[in-house]
Amino acid sequence: MVQRIKKWFHRPTRLESHPTERARRRNLLPSSSSYFHRLTEEEERKLAKRFEGKLLLRREIPLSDPQFNDLLRHQLFTPHPSFIKTIFQTRCKRCNNDKPSLLASFPCAKCCRTHLYCRNCIMMGRVSECEVLYEWNGIRYQWPTLLNACTWKGVLTPAQEKAANLVKKAIADKSEMLVWAVAGAGKTEILFPGIELALSRGARICIATPRSDVVRELYPRIGQAFKNVEVEALYGKKKNKDGTAQIIIATTHQLLRFNEAFDVMIIDEIDAFPYHKDRSLAFATNRAAKKASAKIYLTATPRGDLKQKIRRKQLPHCFIPIRYHGHPLPEPKLVADFSLSKRLTNKQLPKSFIRWLDQRERKTRQLLIFVPTIQLAEQLKVETAAVLLLKKLIKDESEVAFAHAEDELREEKVRQFRQRNIYCLLTTTILERGVTFPSVDVVVLQANHDVFDEAALVQISGRAGRAKDDPDGEVIFIHDGKTEALVDAVHAIKKMNLRAKTFYTKESER
Ligand SMILES: [Zn+2]
Ligand SMILES: [Zn+2]
C-alpha cells in the first residue's frame, strides 16, 4: 500500500502537467499568477492552526484541489496509508481496530474495485483502503500564552482547593492523576486553576468525555470561566467541527481525528459507556495527547481497573467524598413492587410510584424518571401526563417529555427541563451523569434491569440534591427483585457519606 501511495504521489498529477504549471516551472510566469505561489508566513500559520495535530481524510480538508495538491507537493501534508497491513493482521490507522469482524469490504464506485473499510470508526465517516490519512507537516503553531485567563469569580471549598492544587501540580509536571469526586463535588471548578496555569504556558487543552450530553453541559461553563480564550465543542451532531480552538471540549469519538495535539488531556466521566467498552477510544485519547503531556481523569464511580491501579499505587489520585455544599448524597430508597413488569408491559406506571407521588416531601421539585429502554420512555409519556394531571402536579400534557439517545430533540428538551418548562422528564441512562438540574426527585423504574449497573445507579442518585438551597431530593429505586448492582450501589453511597463525615472531622481538627 505504501509503495502504491508513493508511486501515486510522485506521478505528475493532471495539474502538474497543466500548461500554466509547466510555464511557471520554466519561470515564464511570476508565481503569483498561478495557483502555485509561495505561502506567506501568515498563510502557513493559519494552515498550521487548522490542520496541525490531526489525521484527516481528504474530504475533511476544506481546500480546493489545486491548493491542496500544491501543499502536498511542497510536502506540507504527509500522506499515510489508512490501513497498516502485515502478514498476520490488518489494522485501521485511524482507530487502531484490527478485529477481522470489524473490517469489511465494499464495492468502491470510485476505483471500480472491492476493498476494505473499517466498520469500527464508520461513525466518523468511512475510511476505505483507497483513501489516505493526511498529517500536517508544516510549521508548528504557537498557541498564545495567556496570563490570568480564568474569569470565574467563585471560591473553591477547602476540599476542592486541595484537589485543584494536585491537578495543578500534575499539569506542571506533565504527569497523570485521577480525581475521584462524588457527583456534585464540583469537579469542573477543580480544573480551573490547572487550566489557567496551562494557558499561561501557551498549552493547548482538551477536555474529553464519552458522552455528548456532557460536552454540551461543559461547553458553556468552560466558556464562561475562560471568557477571553477560544473554546470549541466537538460532538457528532455539531455541524462545524474545525477543532481549531486552544481549549477543545470533545467526545472521545471526535479525538479519532487528532494526533499529538494536546499538552493537557482531561478525561471527564472516564468510566462512562462507551469508553470502557471500546478500546479504540482509549487509543484515540492517548494519540490525541502529545507524548509529553498531563493526563487528568475525572470520575465519581471508578471501575475495577482504575481502583486496582489506585490500590497498587500506580496512579496518583485524590478523593473528594463531599459535595460542594457540604450535604451528604441522597440515599436511595428501594421499593419492591411485584406487579411492576405487568404494569410496564401494559404501558402503565407502577402503583408503588403513584402511591409515592402522594407522599413526596416537596412537590415543587421536578421529576426525573429513568427507565431501562427507549421504547418504555416513549410509551409511558401519555400515562405519566395523565397521572400528573390528575394529581394536579402539571397544568398541561406538554410538561411531560421523554429524552433518549435516538431523540433528535433531546438537546432542546433537556434545556426546557432545566428552565423548568418541563416538569417531568422520562429518560434512559443517557442522562445518568454529567447533567445538573437544581431541584429534582429521581425515580428509577425497573431498577433491577441489566442496564442499571452499580455505576449507573450511583450516578443517577447523584442527580438529586445538587443545589445549595435544596440539597436533599428523593431517590426511589422501584424494582421487582433485588440485584447485586442495586445493593452495591446503595452500599457505595452510604460508604461515601460515611467517608464524608470522617473527612469533615479531619478537616475541622486541622
Ligand atoms: Zn477504524
Ligand atoms: Zn476505492
Task: Write the DSSP string, 277-330.
Answer: T-HHHHHHHHHHEEEEEEEEEEESS--HHHHHHHHTT-S-EEEE-S-TTSPPPP
| Ligand 2 center to 2 CA (angstroms) | 15
Annotate 52-87 with DSSP letters as a single string. Answer: TTB-B-GGGS---HHHHHHHHHTTSEEEEESEEE-S
pLDDT at 504: 65
Identify whether the C-beta of residue 155 lies closer than 8 Å to the C-beta of residue 130. no
Which segments of 73-159 are extended strands (E)?
77-81, 83-85, 90-92, 103-108, 113-118, 132-136
Low-confidence ranges of the chain (pLDDT < 50): 1-35, 510
- Whether the bond between 372 and the residue before it is cis, its omega within 30 degrees of 0, is no
Ligand nearest to the CA of 95: 1
Q: Is 248 helix (H, G, I), strand (E, B) or coil?
A: strand
| Ligand 2 center to 104 CA (angstroms) | 13
| Ligand 1 center to 286 CA (angstroms) | 15
Q: Is 162 exposed, middle or buried (0-12, 13-18, 19+ CB in 10 A)?
A: middle
CA atoms 39, 44, 50, 51: torsion sign: positive
**Tally: H helices and E strands in the chain:** 15, 19
Ligand nearest to the CA of 253: 1
| Ligand 2 center to 107 CA (angstroms) | 8
Ligand nearest to the CA of 92: 1
Q: How far is CA 165 from CA 90, 179, 260, 420, in A?
A: 44, 11, 26, 36
The tens digit of pLDDT for each residue in 75-92 reads 999 999 999 999 889 999
Q: What are all long-range contacts of 323-326, with beta carbons under 8 Å and residues at least 24 apart?
A: 323/182, 323/183, 323/184, 323/185, 323/186, 323/465, 323/466, 323/471, 324/157, 324/160, 324/184, 324/185, 324/186, 324/189, 325/184, 325/467, 325/468, 325/471, 326/157, 326/504
Identify whether the C-beta of residue 209 lies closer than 8 Å to the C-beta of residue 269. yes
Ligand nearest to the CA of 126: 1
CB within 8 Å of 353: residues ≥ 6 apart: 337, 443, 445, 476, 478
Alpha-carbon gap, residue 214 to 222, rounded angstroms: 12
| Ligand 1 center to 299 CA (angstroms) | 27
Spatial CA neighbour of 140 closest among 195, 94, 202: 202
Ligand nearest to the CA of 128: 2
pLDDT at 282: 93
Alpha-carbon gap, residue 380 to 349, rounded angstroms: 7
Ligand nearest to the CA of 108: 2
pLDDT at 23: 37
Residue located via cell numbers 417529555? 401
pLDDT at 510: 47
Q: pTM of the predicted model, to two decimals?
A: 0.86
Angle made by CA atoms 321, 318, 173, in degrees to the nearest 5: 155
To 10 degrees, what angle do helices 187-200 and 212-225 make? Answer: 60
Q: What's the DSSP call for residue 112?
A: T
- Grid coordinates of 293: 503531556
pLDDT at 349: 96
Length of the chain: 510
Q: Which residues surround ligand 2, an ion (CB under 5 A)?
A: 108, 110-111, 130
Ligand nearest to the CA of 82: 1
Ligand nearest to the CA of 91: 1
| Ligand 2 center to 27 CA (angstroms) | 37
| Ligand 1 center to 51 CA (angstroms) | 20
pLDDT at 350: 96
Q: How far is CA 427 from CA 232, 367, 377, in A?
A: 27, 11, 6
Alpha-carbon gap, residue 207 to 302, rounded angstroms: 18
pLDDT at 229: 98
CB count in 10 Å sphere of residue 125: 13
Residue located via cell numbers 442495586? 486
